[in-house]
Structure 1
Amino acid sequence: MQLLDKACKILGVPADMVLREFGGYFFEFCKRSGYDHMLRTLGGNLYEFIENLDALHSYLSLSYQEMNAPSFRVEKNEDGSMHLHYYSDRRGLCHIVPGIIGAAALDFFNIEISMEIINQTEEEERTGKKEHIVFLVTQNPVFSYKERNEFSSSQYLADSEKQIENQLNKEDFEKAKNTIRDKGSSVCPVKKSHWKTIRGIITLGKGKLLRGFDPVYPKSLWIDTKTFCNGLPFHLVFDKELRVKQAGVSIQKIVPGLQTMGICLDHYFSIVHPEVPFNISSIQKFINSQFVFQTRREMMPESWKQRPMLELRGQMIWMESLQCMLYLCSPLLRTLHELEERQMHIADIAPHDVTRDLILLNQQRLAEMELSNQLERKKEELRILSKHLEEEKKKTEALLYAMLPQHVANQLKEGKRVEAGEFKECTILFSDVVTFTNICAQCEPIQIVLMLNSMYLLFDRLTTVHDVYKVETIGDAYMVVGGVPVPVPTHAERVANFALGMIIAAKGVQNPVSGNPIQIRVGIHTGPVLAGVVGEKMPRYCLFGDTVNIASRMESHGVPSKIHLSSSAYQCLKYKNFEMTERGEIEVKGKGKMHTYFLIRNKTASENEIMGRPMKDSDSGHESVQSFHDGRTETIPSCHQPVTQIQPEKDQTPAIAMKYIDGPTDAQNSLRRNQAKIADLTGKTYDFKSDRSLHGNQHADDGRHPLNQERVKPATGEPQIRNIRSNFCTLL
C-alpha cells in the first residue's frame, strides 16, 4: 500500500485508477508468462470464465502452496447482468478486479464491460475472508469494422429479414431465439438487431433451422443403487440438515461412521476450501467453487488417528426435486507416498477417475526431479573436484617449473623431444662450504640437513632477486647460471651480484660445530655451453662444456669468503662498476696456469638492493656492500644439540627483484607474450647477435662478439656502462 500511495502522489491520479491499470497490466503479464492458453480455455463466455477462476486458483495452489488467492462467485440476473462477489484477505485491492476482468473480457470475448461496486462488507465470520465486495457487471459488444459495414447495409438486411420471417414458423422462431438467449452466449444486456438474431439460429448455406440442444432423459433411472455406489466410490448425498443419505463404498471404507445413514456430515468432515460455515446455505452460495473436505481426526478409529487425515476435492450439485446436495469428489492425493500413509491403494480409486493417472504421473515427475537433483549434486561435486584438480595441477606445474625451465617442461609434457641448445656466452657459478667434510664428521645428519636447508633457502631467494637459473645442488655444492635458458646481456652482472649476496647470506647460517657463521668459496667463469635435458627418469636440465669445468676449478681453487673470477668473467665485469683485485697466475688442475681475480664489491648497489630487501632512506647508491667481516652475534649451539636456523627478519620479506638495464618492463613483458609464438623452443643456438637482429633496434652490423672481440675502452678514463636494451629471446 505504501508503494500505491507513492505512485498516486507521483502520477497525481486516484488509487482506484492506478489499481485498475495495474490489473490490466497484470493480465497481460500472466499471458506473457505462459498462462495465455490456460486462461482462454476456462470458459466459452465471461460468466463461465469467472465461474472457473477459483478452480484455476485451486490448481495453481498445488505448485504455489503458500498462495493466498482471492475467491470469486458470480450470479446471473434476469436482465442479463451479473453480480460478481469478490472475497479477499487483503483490504484495499478490490479495484484491481475491474482491470483484470475488463482486460480478459475485451481480449477473449471482444466485449467491453463496466463494473461498479454496489456493496462492500466484512464477513470474517462467514467466509474467513476480511473483505467482501459485490460488483455489478454489465457489458456492451465491440463490433469490428466488417460488422459495422454489415449494419450500414440496412435496406438489404431489411429485405432479407422479411424473406426469412416468411419462411420460418413463428413458434420455431421464438423458441430458437429463446434458446440462443438462454445459452448465455451473451450474459449481459445487449441490444441485438433482428437480423443478428436470425443469422445466429440459421445454418448458413443450408436454410435449416438450428434448434437449441434439448437433452433427453430416461423415464426412470436405469442403474441400481449398488452399481451406482460402486461405480462412484467417492460421492456423498446429504439433505438441508446435513444428514447423510447415501455414500460411495470407498468413502465408507475410509470413514466407517458413514455406514450409519442419517448421521450429520459435519461430525465427520470439515470444509477446508472455500472458507465458509458448514451449512447448506453457504454451500449453495459457493456451489460453483470446488469444495475440499477433510476428515476429522477425533471421529476416526483409535488405530487410525496417527494417520494423516484424508482430503476430498469435488463439486457440489443441488438436486431440487430431492432437496438434497450431491458431492462428487475424489481423494486429494499427489504421490504414492501420500496414498500409502493413508493405508489406501490404487484399487480404491475408480478406474475412470483421473486421480489414478495424476498420482502415477506425479510420481514419475518426482522421480525425474530427484534424478535431476542428483545430477545437479553430481555436477556440483564434479565442479568442486575440477576446482581441486586445477589447484593440484597448478601445484604440480609450479613444482615441475622449479625443477626444469618452463619451455622444456612444456615440451616434455607434450611428449616432444627436447633438443640440446648452444649458448655462445653465459656465466656459471659454483659454491661450496669450507670444511664441509669435517662438519659432517662431527654432527648428526639432521643438523647437516638443517644447515644446508637454511642456507639454500637464502640462496634460492637470491635467484629470484637477480633472475639467474639454479642448475643443481650436490651436497654442499650450489650451481647457478646466468644467460641460460633465456639469453640476457647482463648475465655476468647478475651472477656477480648473486655471488655477493651469497657471501652476505652465508653469515646468517651457523656452523653447527663451532657456532660461527659458515664460510663458502665461490667461483665464476664466463663462456659458451651446451644445454639440454638428459635421461627419461627424473630428467634434468644440464650444462655441458669446458666452461662448466673451469667454473668448478675457480671454486675449488678459491679462498674462503672470496669470489674467485676467471679472466673471461673479469673482462665481462671490467666496465660494470664492480671493484675487483688481481690475484695473479695460479696453477689450475687440468688447465695449467691461469690469470684470475677476486670480486670485492659493487660500487653502486647497496646491500639491501643486492639482497632484495626494501630500500631504506639511509641506503646510498655509492656505499659498499662488501662488509664480509662484520659478523653477527648468534647463539652457538653444541654439535650434539639440534640446530635451529633462525633467519634474520629482514630476509623473510618478499624478494624484490634488482633492476638491470635489460630488466623487463610492462611493455617488454607484453612483447614477450606476443613473441612467445615465434620463440625458438627447440634449443637452437642463442647469441646476442641473433637477438639483436630479432628485435631490430640493436647494432646488428656491429660485427663484434663479447667473447671473440677485444673490448674497447671508453675514450674517457672513467668506466662507463653500455646502454643495451633488453635482448630476451622469450622461451615459454
Structure 2
Amino acid sequence: MFGFIHESIRQLVIRKYGEDTWIQVLERSGFENGKENIVNHYYSDTDTYVLVDSVSIVLKVTRDQVWEMYGGFLITYSMEIGWDELVRSMSPNLKGFLDNLDSLHYFIDHVVYKANLRGPSFRCEENPDGTLLLHYFTGRPGLYHIVKGVVKEVAKLVFDLEITLVVQGRTQRSVHMNNGERVEEHVIFLIKNVGESRRDSEASTTSLLTSAANDFGDLVDDNLRMSPQDFSKALPYHFVLDESCKLVQCGDELYNHIPKELLQPGTPILRIFEINRPQIPLDFENICNFINAVFVLQVKTSPLKKKHMDAMSKEERLQEVEAMEAESASNELTQGCHLKLKGQMMMLSTKKHIIYLCSPYVTSINELMQFGMRLTAMPLHDATRDLILLNQQRLTDVEVKYVVTSVIKTHTLYSLQLEANNEQLETMTRELESERKKTDTILKDMLPRKIAQLLLNGEHIEPCEYEATVMFCDLPAFQKIIPVCQPKNIVKLLNEVFFKLDRIVVLRGVYKVETVSDSYMTVSGIPDYTSEHSETMCHVALGMMWEARSVVDPVNKTPFLLRIGLHSGTIIAGVVGTKMPRYCLFGETVTLASQMESLGLPGKIQCSKWTYQKAMETGRFEFSPRGRTAVKGRGDVETYFLTRSLKKSIWEITNHERDVNINSIEGYEELETSIEYAQAVKNDNKSKVDPSNSVTCAIS
C-alpha cells in the first residue's frame, strides 16, 4: 500500500495516544523509526497489515476497530493537509460524493502521486424510502471497515449528517485477470440518516442523502432526433456495446486507428480493446459494477500494423485479422505504441446497452504525433485539446527553468549523488564480503582446509604422494530398502545416517572425500601427514559403527549395520577440475580399501594387514584375525576384524555422555550385543518376511 496510508496511521496513533505508543507499535512491527512512513514509497500489503496488527495489539482493540478508526481519521487528516476544498466541492449530497469516489481515486493515482494504488470501486443506489445502498468492490478483502469510518466522517464534516452504515451482504469471488487470478470482495452497505440536518440543505428536495433529478421529458420535442452519422461525428471516439459486450456502433475517428474489419457491428469488444483500468474482466456485469470508475482501454492494433493492413487487399486483411486473433494479446501489445482511450461508461435507458464516452489518452504533442494524429482530430468541445496545449506549455517552461537552474543544481546533485554512491558502494562491499565468506565456507567444506586456503590465495596445487589410511563403508541393507520405500523417505533415511557419520568425521579430524549412493569414503593423513593416521581411522570406524546402530532399518526394524573396510598405504592426491574442484585420491591403496569394504561383512570393520600393523605401532586395539581373503589383482591377502580400542572408549570416540546406570564403562559390549542381535533378527526374519511384498515404508 502507499506510504501515505502509513503516515496517516502514524498521525492517528500519535495524536490520540502519544509518541510513546507509536514507538511501541514500531518495535512490535519491526519497522525502523523514520522508515515506516515514507509518503511516496510503495509498501507491500503485508507490511501494512503487520503495522495495523501491531496497533491493534498495543491499543488492545480489534483490527476491525483500528481500520474503522483509521477511516474516520483519514478524512479529517486529508482535509487538514489541503484537500478540504476538493472534498467539499465534489457533490452537494452524499450520494453524489460516493458516486465520484472512483474518479477521486483515479485523480490521486494518476495526477497527484502517479502510483499504481489499485484502489477500490463504489456504486450507489437510492432506495424508494430515501436510504442508500452502497456497493463496495475491492481486491483487498477485509478492509470494508475503513469505508464505514470514511463515509460516517464525510457525512458529518461535509454534509452535516448523522448516518448509520449496516452491512447488508458480503461476498467474495475469484476473478480471472490477464496477470492471473485474484479474489474480489463485494460488500453492500445500507446507509440511513438517523436525525434531522443541523443546517438547511440547499441541494436537498426529497432526501437529505440525495438530490432530486431534473425531468426534461415535457420540454423535449419527440421529433428531435440525432442520426448515427451526426452522433459519430460529434463523439468521434465513442462506441456502444450490448449485453454480450459486442460492438453496436462507434465513432468515425476509431477507423483511423483500428482496421474496419474489426469495427463491424457484432464484433466482440475483447477483439478490439485491452482494458488497463479498472483491473476487471471486460464483460457487461463487471462494467455495470464499476460504472463510476474511470475506464482506460488500449487498442490492440498498433499504428504500424494498421498502416500495413490498409495497404492490403480485402482478402489479405481478413486473413490478417484472423491471424491477429490467433496470436496472444500479450505478444501483440508488446509491439510499437498503442492508442489508449480514457473516459466513462454510461448505461443507456434501454438498460441493455452501454456507451463509452472517451477521448484519446494523450498529454503532449509528441504522443499525439506518435499516433499520426493532429489537434483537429479532437472536437472543439473536448478538453483534451486544452490539456495537450497546457501540458506542452508546462514542458516548455520546465525546460527553460531547467536550463537556468541546472548550473546551480549541478554541484548539489553531484554531492548528493556522490554521497549516495558512497553509501551504495559500502553496502555492496558488505554484501560482497558476506557472499565471499559464504563461498569460502563452501569451498572449505568441499576441500581440505589447507588446500582450500591455497586455492583462495591463487596458488597452484601440485599433486602429491602421501602415506595415509583410506576407509570405505556402506549400508548392505540399503539396496533392499529402495524398492519398498517412498523416494522422499529414502533420501531422509540416508541423510540421517550420513549426518551422524559426518559428525564423527569432523570430531576425529579426518577428511571426507565423497559419498556415492550409500557408499561413504574418507581418508586420514592428508594433506597434513600424521604418523597416527591408521589409529585415527580405526577410531573413526568404531565411532561410525556405533552411530549407525542408532538408525533403524525400516524393513527389518533392526539397527543398521555398516560394512567397513580399511587399508593403509601410498596414495596420490590432487585437485581435479575448475568449475567444481574436487580433491581426488588415486592409487592401489584406494582400490584395496574399496575391496576390503566390498569383501567385508555387515557389522564388521575389515582391515588389511598393513592397516593392522600401522595401527598397532601408534595405538592399542583388539583385532580378531579373519584369515586370508581372495582379493582381485592381489591374490590372497591376510585380513583382520577390528573389535575395540584399548585406549579410548566408545563414549570418548563419539563424544556421547555415558549413562552410568545402564551403559558399560567402555561401551564395546553394547556395540557387539547390538550387532549380534541385529544379525540374529535378520536371520530369523529372512524366512518369514519378504520385503519385496511391502508396498509402503514408514521411517520415523
Q: For the superposition of Structure 1 and Structure 2, which TM-score range results when normalised by the shorter chain?
A: 0.3 to 0.5
Provide the TM-score with structure 2 as the length reference. 0.44
> Larger relative contact order (C-alpha < 8 A, sep ≥ 6)?
1
Q: Which has the higher helix share?
A: 2
Provide the TM-score with structure 1 as the length reference. 0.42
Work out which of the two has the higher radius of gyration on C-alpha atoms and give 1 or 2.
Answer: 1
